[in-house]
Amino acid sequence: MKLKRVVVTGIGAITPIGNTLQEYWNGLINGVSGANLITQFDASKFKTRFACELKNFDPLNYFDKKEARKMDRFTQTALVSSDEAVKNGNLTAENINPDRVGVVFASGIGGLITFQEEVINFANGDGTPRFNPFFIPKMILDIAAGHISMRHGFRGPNFAVVSACASSTNAIMEAFNLIRLGKADIILAGGAENVINQAGVGGFNAMKALSERNDDYLTASRPYDKDRDGFVMGEGAGSLILEDLDHALRRGATIYAEIAGAGATADAHHITAPHPEGLGAKNVMLSALQDAGMEPTDIDYINSHGTSTPLGDIAEVKAIMDVFGEQAFKLNISSTKSMTGHCLGAAGVVEAIACIMAVQHDLAPPTINHFTDDPELDSRLNFTFGKAQHRPIRAALSNTFGFGGHNACVIVKKFVA
């Protein structure tokens, strides 16, 4: 069968450097650091006392108090980003068939904040099981997709995807496949993650995964820097309206970009460490290129996974060199995690949005916080250090890799009728 073309017709974002799409993009191109001391709990006794939190996010600006109390923070941010995407995409009762509109929404962990609160309340009680009746529906990570569908009346395919930090890229891939196979006209795809609490920070600290640069937190997220010492935790959500091209043209939708292809692989190596030679990362980029019917020379920008971990950055660069060869030196590569921190299950969609905007504006966002070259990384590579760079960007590739060896990649390109 002939596969349908899939385009992006709506975008929403709430991130540590901006609570709307435009604020987020402005933060990216201006090289803004989203890091600050943690405000959501007292982190004074933790090894890491900073994170990239959302700024000025008050759920009561978006929901009434009764409604807000029924949702974990990750569902709240999911709804904020999806509301913006629906509005941005001009989806109305008059121009869609709700039976043909679905939601595929991801999270890596889900309602960890709710889980922690309920367990602490029980542990501090007298042993009598007094749990919030919304405990389970607040915690489960598929509930965000459910809330989004109920809020907008979307009755098409509806489910969650989880693959750690690759989760929302896998959500985009699933939505892409559903549409091009004709299973839906429109899918709202994305992800949300909000786990900056004692359990989240403490758990990642115990793994030695987080930066402990407490005295210089603004520059702690240092992808590709010789002195990087771990990632900085971020939070937020992103949403994309993916749509069958013919359907989008019929309703006169604004088209931001086209989804060209996607891929997914496994390292089959280690529960947390990347394959040292970047084998899974190499294979997922090759898979996405093959799916898109593209060559390495067709890509101009890579939004790398680039978490600022000692092993991860090197493995990914090895993979990029293996896939792109000499073309690697003609690319712009950047890690926007240097600004947003690592948004975990939301990272994929937040960074896919960066790629879409880069393609639309012919502007590669920077990698900030670079001070010392890493001798293990080829100095001829353009990591877009310091400031955004203007250049023609025909197509961009976004990498995401998750604990468990999950790898996912999506390619977006300029829309040409």
Query: Is 275 marked active-site?
Result: no
Residue 77, pLDDT > 90, answer yes
Portion of the chain with pLDDT greater than 90, in percent: 98
Distances (CA, A) of 347 to 31, 131, 306: 17, 32, 11
Residue 300, pLDDT > 90, answer yes
- Kindly report, residue by residue over 344-372, the tens digit of the pLDDT: 999 999 999 999 999 999 999 999 999 99
> How do 186-193 and 101-106 pair as beta strands?
parallel
Nearest to 349 by CA among 76, 14, 22: 14
Catalytic residue among 152, 247, 275, 305, which?
305
Portion of the chain with pLDDT greater than 70, in percent: 100
Residue 78, pLDDT > 90, answer yes
CATH number corresponding to 262-413: 3.40.47.10
Query: Is 165 marked active-site?
Result: yes
**What integer pLDDT is reported at residue 276 of this predicted model?**
87
CA distance 369 to 363: 19
CATH fold match for the domains 6-250 and 262-413: yes
Residue 210, pLDDT > 90, answer yes
Confidence band, pLDDT 50/70/90 cuts, at residue 385: very high
Q: Of 125-129, 243-247, 287-291, give the lowest mean pLDDT range.
A: 125-129
Nearest to 194 by CA among 416, 352, 38: 38
Query: Is 147 marked active-site?
Result: no
The pLDDT mean for the chain works out to 97
CA distance 368 to 339: 7
- Kindly report, residue by residue over 276-289, the tens digit of the pLDDT: 889 999 999 999 99
The verdict on pTM exceeding 0.95 is yes
Domain coordinates in residue numbering, the chain: 6-250, 262-413
Catalytic residue among 152, 342, 370, 406, which?
342
**What integer pLDDT is reported at residue 1 of this predicted model?**
78
**How is domain 6-250 classified at the CATH fold level?**
Peroxisomal Thiolase; Chain A, domain 1 (3.40.47)
Catalytic residue among 52, 165, 343, 355, which?
165
- Kindly report, residue by residue over 252-276, the tens digit of the pLDDT: 999 999 999 999 999 999 998 889 8
